Amino acid sequence: MSIRPNPPERSLTELSRQGLRDLLLSWGEPRYRADQLYRWLFQRGVRDVEQMTDLSKSLRRHLRENEYTIGRVTLEKVRESIDGTRKLQFRLADGAAIESVLIPMPGGLFTQCLSSQVGCAMDCQFCYTGTLGLSRHLTSGEMIDQVVRAADGLPPGSRIDHIVYMGMGEPLHNFDAVVASLGVICDPDGCGYSHKRVTISTSGLVPQIDKLGRVAPVNLAISLNASNDEVRNQIMPVNKRWNIDALIEAVRRYPLPPRRKLTFEYVLLGGVNDTDDDARRLVKLLVGLPARINIIPWNPFEGTRFLRPADERVRSFQRILLDRGLTATVRVTKGLDIDAACGQLGERPSA
């Protein structure tokens, strides 16, 4: 599969805080000017240099003359589900489409689910995004822009409280750009989310989990989805490279700050990984870990062989985990009517 290169356009939102300082310094501008510009871009989300009123006229002219753009993500469409979930459809400068989902939480808060790639290379059998293959990685600016632009369209009185890298793509496969995006998203002068309010979800790229622990102490979610290697090999090809034991060892090494929990996602596939024995094996795997298990009854899409398990099966699976003292919640399916639920993201041919 050929991976298209990132679009070459120059965009200010691709630059880190230091990158902006270096650029402005090369134009003879003082460092505090770069910091002003940085706050306009990421804290306030302003997209027109003419509105950045405290920048000098000469700097604004310089930005225009050098053809710097601000962001390259256009919010094309917002679809709202009957349950309040909003799916944001963005168009990128090269025409590619990505999606981000705002999930309503109590108290006017939203969790935002970000995409990290156009499509995904990991080929998990139960995931719609996986069927698309990988078109390309997103740039850091394209991830940050999803956050900045989403804040524009929120209902009055509400705000985004938590960012999860759980949309299209495997964030740890696009490691450098994801870490660069965290640099702005978690900066108080940038988007202002503390690391505590950010979660990265991964299918299990072990070396990158270790690296992430060293550079950005965000919350970690692991898409486990099976209780033994035999089944995981079948539904998640990544398991052939790093199996369940290797993954759990990496998770045990992850430098989790005190009182925080790891999340394990477990997509429940009828007749594949949903037996009581699976639940009991899962307990054994996770014993002693500060783990929260998120059971996700599989969300269907056309053209697959999987089945959503019956509610009774889901409850029985959960009960075994709870009885053994684990924290286990069943994720309420949200946004199903607008294809915004887990694993349903990606442009449909007819969309």
Contact footprint for ligand SF4 (CB under 6 A):
120, 122, 124, 127, 129-130, 169-170, 203, 223, 343
- Catalytic, 65? Answer no
Which is closer to ligand SAH, CB of 148 or CB of 296? 296
- Please check whether residue 120 is in contact with residue 47, taking contact to mean a CB–CB distance below 8 angstroms: no
**Could you give the residue ranges of the DSSP H alpha helices within 105-190?**
128-132, 140-152, 175-185
Which is closer to ligand SAH, CB of 41 or CB of 134? 134
Q: The tokens of 258 are what?
A: 């005190």
Which is closer to ligand SAH, CB of 192 or CB of 300? 300
> φ, ψ for residue 271 (rounded to 5)?
75, 5
- In 3D space, the residue among 327, 336, 122, 125 whose CA is nearest the CA of residue 226 turns out to be 125
* Candidates 40-48, 102-110, 278-286, 293-301; binding stretch for ligand SAH (CB under 6 A): 293-301
Question: Which of 14, 29, 99, 265 is flagged as catalytic?
Answer: 99
Q: Is residue 131 at the binding interface for ligand SAH, with CB under 6 A as the rule?
A: no
Q: At residue 149, what is the residue type?
A: R
- Catalytic, 170? Answer no
Shortest separation between residue 48's beta carbon and ligand SF4, angstroms: 34
Q: Is residue 267 at the binding interface for ligand SAH, with CB under 6 A as the rule?
A: yes
Which is closer to ligand SF4, CB of 127 or CB of 282? 127
Binding mask 145-174 for ligand SAH (x = CB under 6 A): ---------------------x---x----
- Please check whether residue 281 is in contact with residue 228, taking contact to mean a CB–CB distance below 8 angstroms: yes
Q: Out of 183, 190, 343, 346, point to the residue binding ligand SAH (CB under 6 A).
A: 343
Chain-centroid distance of CA 197 in Å reads 12
Which residues is 79 bridged to in the sheet? Answer: 87
Q: Is residue 295 at the binding interface for ligand SAH, with CB under 6 A as the rule?
A: no
HSE-CB of 299 using CA atoms within 13 angstroms: 21
Chain-centroid distance of CA 170 in Å reads 8
Q: Which does 140 bind (CB under 5 to 8 A by kind): ligand SAH, ligand SF4, none?
A: none
Which is closer to ligand SF4, CB of 127 or CB of 320? 127
Which residues is 330 bridged to in the sheet? Answer: 295
Q: Out of 146, 223, 263, 273, point to the residue binding ligand SAH (CB under 6 A).
A: 223
- Tracing tokens 């309420």 back to the chain, one arrives at 332
* Candidates 64-72, 73-81, 85-93, 201-209; binding stretch for ligand SAH (CB under 6 A): 201-209
Q: How many CB atoms lie within 10 A of CB 195?
A: 15
- Please check whether residue 102 is in contact with residue 318, taking contact to mean a CB–CB distance below 8 angstroms: no
Q: Is residue 296 at the binding interface for ligand SAH, with CB under 6 A as the rule?
A: yes
Shortest separation between residue 309's beta carbon and ligand SF4, angstroms: 18
Beta-sheet strands, E only, within the chain: 73-80, 86-92, 97-105, 109-113, 117-119, 134-137, 159-165, 198-202, 219-223, 262-268, 291-297, 327-330
Distance CA 243, CA 230 (A): 10
Q: Is residue 90 at the binding interface for ligand SAH, with CB under 6 A as the rule?
A: no
Which residues of this protein are in contact with ligand SAH, per CB under 6 A? 126-127, 166, 170, 201-203, 223, 225, 265, 267, 296, 298-299, 342-343
Catalytic residue ranges: 99, 342
